[in-house]
């Protein structure tokens, strides 16, 4: 008769501990203002949520504070923001209405934290299915505690939500193949469809799904049996139809659609030496794997596996970073989608290394893990810092001194983080003449933390300054000095 294991030796208990400590790790600076790393992108997302919070949720007309022509080339007086379907923003808004100990920005971060914890569970289930029970624990461990992923699992961005939805789709599809219940098939396609709506890059998670389908039915079986072929077509149709309908709708608002062509290969960097250096050296090698994790990652690639699921998952991610080459090179938050596949590969390599529970192997594994986490943390720790607190102070002053419907110029090199602090619609940079901004587009106030810039000197000499400190000044553009 099989002896019962003590509860503290069960995989589920370790998963519970991972979830608890993963949650605690993500609480670090949870209420921090949106002025940390990649604050410009977080501010764009958070402003949609804040407008929902103040004015009510309008799913079909998401708006943000930037009304300039910088993002799309068109003046955007309504501040339309048609980038992703605002599912994240709806959840953020509903959670923020709970009030409690978190600020509005804190609730935005908590939204990502919640979805990331679901992702930990989904990664565990995938690791358990394609490696082993303890392989699932290891996959959850890496996903939960890679320093890169800790930071990017508590940002105000839609990516963590999209990843969680896509991983749930994978889990459901595995259940469909294992149990044969068609309900799991349709639920899988629906959740991947929602993930693609939230962030179109999630379509690359279809690669491991395609592999699983091919492993189950074979390529010949798909084309010989009509029902199998129809299943794949239906699955893709469910995924793509909502996305295309959304794109048809947003195309009616060209001023709210930012330039996106650059993200593919706008600077012609794809497959050039700089591409390999940034993607596989700086990002995967140093930022995510902390150099020492490359050893475990490599082991995960070369050793024998139950299925090619992890390898196909990584192939899908390689296609993703290659197609969106410029975006992945320029911005490290684009690699959020890659972390689940990397975590599974690390778990596969670790499981192979630790097989037999030899003390020497455990020591080697512990050393590489410690160094990986340490080196990655050394790179990521500065992401939490607020390097320009003056924009928060100046934004608070604008909110106190100006009407709620005032339009504000808050130049910050096009970064909308400053404008977000004012809680006003306006401009993150001067995109045309001051005369046109004031007389034709309705700019009411000018706030700047760069007091010695040419634009600031012009404003101070021509318009009434209503407040000035050592770090910023605010001018009323409706009151000319002359």
Listed range (6-15, 72-81, 395-404) with the worst mean pLDDT: 6-15
Same domain, 330 and 431: no
| Domain tally, the chain | 2
Helix (H, G, I), strand (E, B) or coil at 57: coil
Q: Give a yes or no: residue 450 inside a domain.
A: yes
Choose one of 383, 407, 422: the last residue of a domain: 383
Rounded Cα distance, 188 and 176, in Å: 8
Same domain, 226 and 370: yes
Q: Which whole number is the average pLDDT over 81-88?
A: 95
Same domain, 167 and 289: yes
Same domain, 349 and 404: no
Residues in a beta bridge with 465: 475
Choose one of 383, 408, 423: the last residue of a domain: 383
Percent of the chain residues past pLDDT 70, beyond the cut: 97
Q: Give a yes or no: residue 64 inside a domain.
A: no
Same domain, 348 and 397: no
Which sign does the torsion angle of CA 21, 25, 27, 28 carry? Answer: positive
Same domain, 353 and 413: no
Q: Residue 2: which pLDDT band, with cuts at 50, 70 and 90?
A: very low
Q: Which whole number is the average pLDDT over 405-429?
A: 95
Which tens digit of pLDDT belongs to each residue from 177-198? 999 899 999 999 999 999 999 9
Same domain, 363 and 322: yes
Helix (H, G, I), strand (E, B) or coil at 100: coil
Q: Which of 104-118, 292-306, 307-321 has the highest mean pLDDT?
A: 104-118
Domain of 460, in residue numbers: 390-480
Q: What is the pLDDT of residue 482?
A: 65
Same domain, 331 and 446: no
Instruction: Take residue 325 and report the two structure tokens written for it.
Output: 């080459």
Whether the predicted pLDDT of 157 surpasses 70:
yes
Instruction: Take residue 334 and report the two structure tokens written for it.
Output: 């684009």
Please compute, for residue 54, the number of CA atoms within 13 A of its CA located in the half-sphere on the CB side.
15
8-state DSSP, 80? B
Rounded Cα distance, 208 and 173, in Å: 10
Choose one of 352, 383, 414: the last residue of a domain: 383
Same domain, 225 and 122: yes
Backbone angles phi, psi at 128, to 5 degrees: -60, -40
Listed range (51-60, 119-128, 259-268, 384-393) with the worst mean pLDDT: 259-268
Same domain, 157 and 275: yes
Same domain, 123 and 236: yes
Q: What is the pLDDT of residue 256?
A: 94
Which tens digit of pLDDT belongs to each residue from 252-305? 999 999 988 889 998 999 999 999 999 999 999 999 999 999 999 999 998 877
Q: Residue 1: which pLDDT band, with cuts at 50, 70 and 90?
A: very low
pTM over 0.75: yes
Which tens digit of pLDDT belongs to each residue from 437-457? 999 999 999 999 999 899 999
Where helices occur in 251-358 by DSSP H, the ranges are 262-265, 273-276, 293-302, 309-323, 325-330, 339-354
Q: In what order do the strands lie in the sheet with 445-448?
A: 426-427, 408-409, 445-448, 473-480, 463-468
Q: What is the pLDDT of residue 306?
A: 76
Q: Give a yes or no: residue 74 inside a domain.
A: no
Q: What is the mean pLDDT of the chain?
A: 93
Same domain, 272 and 415: no
Q: Which whole number is the average pLDDT over 199-212?
A: 93
Q: Give a yes or no: residue 291 inside a domain.
A: yes
Q: What is the pLDDT of residue 217?
A: 78
Which tens digit of pLDDT belongs to each residue from 347-361? 999 999 998 778 888
Is the CB of residue 29 less than 8 Å from the CB of residue 109? Answer: no
Which tens digit of pLDDT belongs to each residue from 21-67? 999 999 999 999 999 998 989 999 999 999 999 999 999 999 999 99
8-state DSSP, 450? -
Which sign does the torsion angle of CA 299, 302, 304, 310 carry? Answer: positive
Instruction: Take residue 474 and report the two structure tokens written for it.
Output: 């605010």
């Amino acid at each position: 008769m099989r002896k019962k294991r003590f509860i503290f030796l069960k995989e589920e208990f370790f998963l519970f501990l991972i979830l608890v400590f993963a949650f605690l790790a993500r609480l670090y600076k949870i209420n921090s203002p949106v002025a940390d790393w990649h604050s410009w992108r977080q501010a764009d997302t958070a402003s949609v949520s804040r407008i929902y919070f103040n004015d009510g949720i309008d799913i079909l007309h998401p708006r943000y504070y930037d009304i300039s022509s910088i993002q799309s080339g068109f003046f955007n007086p309504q501040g339309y923001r048609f980038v992703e379907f605002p599912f994240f923003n709806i959840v953020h808004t509903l959670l923020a209405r709970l009030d409690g100990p978190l600020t509005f920005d804190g609730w935005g971060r908590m939204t990502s934290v919640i979805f990331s914890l679901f992702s930990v569970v989904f990664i565990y289930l995938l690791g358990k299915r394609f490696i082993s029970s303890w392989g699932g624990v290891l996959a959850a461990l890496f996903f939960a505690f890679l320093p890169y992923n800790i930071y990017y699992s508590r940002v105000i961005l839609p990516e963590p939500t999209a990843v969680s939805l896509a991983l749930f789709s994978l889990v459901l599809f595995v259940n469909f193949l294992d149990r044969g219940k068609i309900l799991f098939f349709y639920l899988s396609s629906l959740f991947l469809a929602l993930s693609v709506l939230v962030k179109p890059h999630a379509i690359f998670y279809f690669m491991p799904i395609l592999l699983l389908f091919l492993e189950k039915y074979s390529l010949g079986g798909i084309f010989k049996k009509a029902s199998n072929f129809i299943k794949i077509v239906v699955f893709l149709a469910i995924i793509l139809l909502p996305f295309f309908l959304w794109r048809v709708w947003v195309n009616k608002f060209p001023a709210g659609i930012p330039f996106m062509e650059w993200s593919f290969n706008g600077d012609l960097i794809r497959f050039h030496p700089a591409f390999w250096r940034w993607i596989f050296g700086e990002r995967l090698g140093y930022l995510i794997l902390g150099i020492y994790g490359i050893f475990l990652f490599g082991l995960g690639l070369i050793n024998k596996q139950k299925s090619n699921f992890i390898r196909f998952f990584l192939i899908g991610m390689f296609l993703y970073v290659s197609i969106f080459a410029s975006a992945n090179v320029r911005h490290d938050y684009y690699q959020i989608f890659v972390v689940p596949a990397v975590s599974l590969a690390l778990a596969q390599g670790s499981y192979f290394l630790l097989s037999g529970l030899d003390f020497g192997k455990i020591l080697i594994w512990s050393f590489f893990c410690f160094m990986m986490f340490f080196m990655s943390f050394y790179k990521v720790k500065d992401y939490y810092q607020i390097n320009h607190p003056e924009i928060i102070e100046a934004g608070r002053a604008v909110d106190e001194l100006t009407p709620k419907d005032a339009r504000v110029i808050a130049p910050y090199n096009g970064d909308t983080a400053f404008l977000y602090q004012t809680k006003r619609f306006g401009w993150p940079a001067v995109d045309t003449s001051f005369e046109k901004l004031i007389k034709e587009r309705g700019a009411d106030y000018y706030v700047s933390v760069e007091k010695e810039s040419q634009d600031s000197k012009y404003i101070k000499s021509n318009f009434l300054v209503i407040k000035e400190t050592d770090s910023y000044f605010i001018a009323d553009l409706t009151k000319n000095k002359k």
